[in-house]
Amino acid sequence: MGRVIAYLAFILFTGAERIYELVVSKRNASAAFARGGVEYGQSHFPWMVALHTGFLLACIAEVFLLDRPFIPWLGWPMFAIALLCQVGRYWCIAALGAQWNTRVIVVPGAGAVKAKGPYRFDWLPHPNYLIVAVEGIALPLVHTAWITAIAFTVLNAILLLRFRIPTENEALRKLAPSSPV
């Protein structure tokens, strides 16, 4: 039971971290709107929030309701990967600075960040989404919540591949100059 409680604490910590991200995002969104920022994809944002909230709740529910075991050979590597994902998230946030947001808000003339952090790699145009995908597998598998890992991965891919990434790409094409920041 001790490992289940530790997993619950880890998920709650991750949830608290997400709330902090929303506070930073709201501050950055206000600043972007004050500079003439334009928001795209508003209709998919509530679904994205619901998916990410449901993901954390499903991690907990599956472990408790289906009595998922902690399997050390799987759990410890997944825990390490989940922690590395947190480092990666903050690398993305730091690289984007005031331009980072959980919504798609583009300030005309601000330019796309292409010369900092993970955004300097041309072969990886959306590093945060890769991190989210990896985390969506690793976090539930820390405690063998494999149904949550599969469900989130599929739903996240549908949301990101069909809506979010094309929305971001289109917004950047319309409003941002091509020069790297």
Three-state SS string over 139-168 comes to HHHCCCCHHHHHHHHHHHHHHHHHHHHHHH
CA 98, CA 175: separation in Å to the nearest integer? 17
Map out the domains of the chain as residue ranges: 2-174
* Among candidate residues 23, 17, 178, 9, the one with its CA nearest the CA of residue 79: 9
pLDDT at residue 35, rounded to an integer? 93
The model's confidence at residue 120, banded by pLDDT at 50, 70 and 90, is: confident
Question: Does residue 56 carry a pLDDT above 70?
Answer: yes
- How far from chain centre, in Å, is Cα 181? 22
- Interval 134-158 mean pLDDT: 96
Record: fold of 2-174? Four Helix Bundle (Hemerythrin (Met), subunit A) (1.20.120)
